[in-house]
Amino acid sequence: GQVAAVEALTYELDCMEKGERRITEVMKNLDTKRRYIVKRLRAMPNVQFAYPTSAYYVFLDLPSYFKGKKAFTADKSVTLASVDDFCAHLLQHFHVAVVPGSEFGDEFGMRISYASSIEAIAHAMDGMENLLESLIFE
């Protein structure tokens, strides 16, 4: 951890001596992506999350969608009984990979990385939004 931090700072100082700011640009890029994904998530009803401040992913909570409920796809051909099912369906039908919260001990959560292109993040948000909007609950 600290050895890597020293290397990163040394690299940035070397770049600065050459008039470059590599790490600064990477951080600006990540911040742009973070602000974009947060804006998209805030527009989705009942999606809860803490503003990500120190990593390149955001952890969502979806209890409003799955706690004590079953969700069905619009044609009722698929039952999504958990966030794990939701994540699997998101991958299979929308080609969006996320990590279900069960991997972290949270049955209603999921983690989304924003260490990708803005286009890939937009695709992921479109897929998630479309799937959430299409669900029927019982």
CATH (domain of 92): 3.90.1150.10
More confident residue, 74 or 122: 122
Average pLDDT estimate for 94-119? 95
For residues 123-133, average pLDDT? 95
The predicted-structure confidence for 52-94, as pLDDT tens digits, reads as follows 998 899 999 999 888 888 888 888 888 899 999 999 999 999 9
Where is pLDDT greater, at 25 or 104?
104
Q: 132 with 44: CB under 8 angstroms?
A: yes
Q: Give bridge partners of residue 111 from the DSSP assignment.
A: 59, 99
Q: How many domains does the chain have?
A: 1
Which pLDDT value is given to residue 1? 65
- Tokens describing residue 87: 């994540």
Average pLDDT value over all residues in the chain: 90
* Beta-carbon contacts of residue 52 (< 8 Å; ≥ 6 apart): 34, 38, 58, 59, 114
Task: State the pLDDT at residue 6.
Answer: 83
Mean pLDDT of 107-131: 96
Q: What is the pLDDT of residues 40-57, one digit of tens each?
A: 999 999 999 999 998 899
For residue 66, the enclosing domain spans 2-137
